[in-house]
Amino acid sequence: MVYINLKGNCQTTAMGIMPHQDVERALELSLSLDIPYWPQLPRVSFFEDMYAQLSEHFPGIILDTDNKKIKFSLEKFYEEFDQLLANWDKEEYFRLSPDYSILFHKFLDLDLSPYQYIRGQSIGPVSYGLKILDQNKKSMIYHEEVRGIIFDFVAKKVQAQYNEMKKKHEGAFVWVDEPGLQMVFMAFTGYTSDKAFKDYQDFLKKLPGPKGVHLCGNPDWSFLLQLDLDIISLDILAWGQIFSGYREEIKDFIDKGGIISWGITPTLTEEYEKENLETMIEKLEEVWNSLEEAGITRQQILAQSWLAPARCCLVNADRELTVEKSFELLKSIGDHYKKELK
């Protein structure tokens, strides 16, 4: 790890995906947190979807905007591959254009100087490669000749996004969203954890700035904690008990300077209605007490923690209302722990 000076201190942040259709309101909510980010608003446009956003210039991709689907053609991949190679060393080719994200450019036009850090995000190579299927329902990542390109292409996209953000703010970083990482360890995928680990380590070496992974699923935590990461963001509300069972690996990660972003406040209406500030603190304390038993000091935990909603949510009947309440609850939890840090 290179970025051992990242500050945790229970700062608040959130996932990029939001249910809002009001662009300005989404930005306002992002800026209300300690570590703001550019929102992804798939309800505003299909191109705001994180899989669609990465697809700009990837060879073989077919964007079905009418049905809001992304498909892959191996034949088209070979037809367009030379164009990718011809532009490989041109960073502007990999930048996120306004057509693929209104929010990214609006975010960078704002005054972000009051913040210690600002964050971007990209879908990660494993999730991208697993999600998008060819005409035979085969994931892109299972085409040997395509898999390496996926990892290298995502690295190029992250590099371009990071460099653009870094011009705006010294504390910029970009993490990758990897909901598909838990799938790697299921027998039917045919993509072994050993192969995935090597591919991912090689991928991380190509990323500039602090290296972070966000996911809300339940992968092999040992796999994730042993990667060369600076930031791990997870859904502790759902997986806290399982994650805290990897106490030695977590201790090693924290001892090396790693930051854990604890996703704690519920964004699903049914879950949110069962919780309050006290219950959220109790759930966090249960996990943190377990880590203290493993020899991680309270000071280390607080100093190397960020706080976030448990996951993004687009399915609530009240649309953005519960998500906004979750943000408010999150800020209250952050305020509670910041008092302890003083």
Per-residue pLDDT tens for 235-267?
Answer: 999 999 999 999 999 999 999 999 999 999 999
pLDDT of 2 reads 47
Contact 259, 306 (CB under 8 A): yes
How many angstroms separate the first and last alpha carbons of the chain? 27
pLDDT of 186 reads 60
Query: If the chain, 342 residues long, is cut into consecutive pieces of 10 residues, what is the mean pLDDT of each piece?
Result: 75 97 97 98 95 97 95 98 98 96 96 98 96 94 94 98 97 95 67 84 96 93 94 96 95 96 97 96 96 95 97 94 98 96 81
Q: How is the chain split into domains, by residue range?
A: 11-341
Q: Rounded to 10 degrees, what is the CA torsion of 332, 286, 180, 183?
A: -160
Phi-psi category of residue 125: left, alpha or beta, with phi > 0 → left and psi -120 to 50 → alpha: alpha
pLDDT of 99 reads 93
pLDDT of 190 reads 65
Contact 19, 314 (CB under 8 A): yes
**Beta-carbon-side half-sphere exposure of residue 317 (alpha carbons within 13 Å):** 2
Q: Which architecture, in CATH terms, is 11-341?
A: Alpha-Beta Barrel (3.20)
pLDDT of 183 reads 78
pLDDT of 311 reads 93
Prediction pTM value = 0.95
